[in-house]
Amino acid sequence: MKFGIEAVLVAALVAAVVTAVAQHFRLKRRELQVREAERRAAKAERLAELGSMTGGLAHEIKNPLSTVVLNAQLLREEIEDASTNNALTEKITRRTDALQREAERLREILEDFLRFAGRMKLAPAKTDVRLLIDQLVDFFHPQCERSGVLLREDLQGTPAFAMVDESLMKQAILNLLINALQSMEDQDKTDKELIVRLESNPEELRIHVIDQGTGVDPDQLDAIFRPYVSTKSGGTGLGLPTTQRIVEEHGGRIEVHSIPGQGSDFIIRLPLDGPDGSMRSEAEA
């Protein structure tokens, strides 16, 4: 009888210890989640301050720039209609084309900056990410065909739902697709492939964008996510930082595995229940 009581006490003590340990880890995990949320909020606030400080200036530049673009186009049309020397007309036309081209590029840089620096407001909803990727791949397919790149999907056969802002997530993935395609355009390879792969587990989704491009040097892996750092000529250097910001706003993170000269694998990792556990709360309700 005494042995039975001792066994019950030991079992109760073990159960209490296990419960206490489990509670400790739950509290620790919650504490880490709160700290991560605070870090994201602080970063978002800093970016919002940057946007409010510089957004007005960018808009002031953008307005007269649009006028420059329009007048360059009108000037080109008038030159073509004028009865001047053909050689002179051709020379002036080249100059106006260059003016219009660079003005357009400057306007694109400003628009990219405004998207990056502005306040990002998520409207997450329960979304089938598999369908989202399928639509995006269908949209991007013609551009890959023109560049001689085979774009293919490697998706799960069943819907994969997560709490995401569909528009912003499409922009994030599209930035990676554009970046991957540009890295392959100058490669002297045949049968070039660009793959979008979707994987999932009970807690997160993983979206891979895998290319066979130039790759990234190990010492540049962190730098490519900094604003205005670009490894390609003509790039604004805001595509990857914007993608990273969108992913982090969703409570996720982005990883890169790259081999110089062989290609890269950019991985978006997203929690299924969104940045604030919206889908989990909805299920529990």
In 3D, which of 58, 116, 113, 107 has the Cα closest to residue 242? 116
Q: How many CB atoms lie within 10 A of CB 113?
A: 22
Residue with tokens 């069943």: 158
Please give the mean pLDDT across all residues of the chain. 79
Closest-CA residue to 212 (of 244, 180, 251, 237)? 180
pLDDT (tens digit, 9 = 90+) per residue, 85-138?
677 777 777 777 877 777 777 777 777 676 666 667 788 999 999 999 999 999
**What is the domain partition of the chain in residue ranges?**
1-119, 125-281
Which DSSP state fits 272? T
For the stretch 270-285, pLDDT in tens is 998 877 665 554 444 4
Q: Is 10 helix (H, G, I), strand (E, B) or coil?
A: helix
Q: Which amino acid is at 224?
A: I
What is the reported pLDDT for 281? 46
Higher-pLDDT residue of 141 and 22 is: 141
Q: Indicate if the pLDDT at residue 265 is higher than 80.
A: yes
Fold of 125-281: Heat Shock Protein 90 (3.30.565)
- Each residue of 207-233: pLDDT tens digit? 999 999 888 888 888 788 887 666 565
Predicted confidence (pLDDT) per residue in 42-88, tens digit: 666 666 666 565 666 666 676 777 777 777 777 777 777 765 667 77
Judged against a pLDDT cut of 90, whether residue 150 lies above it is answered with: yes
Of 21 and 134, the one with more pLDDT: 134
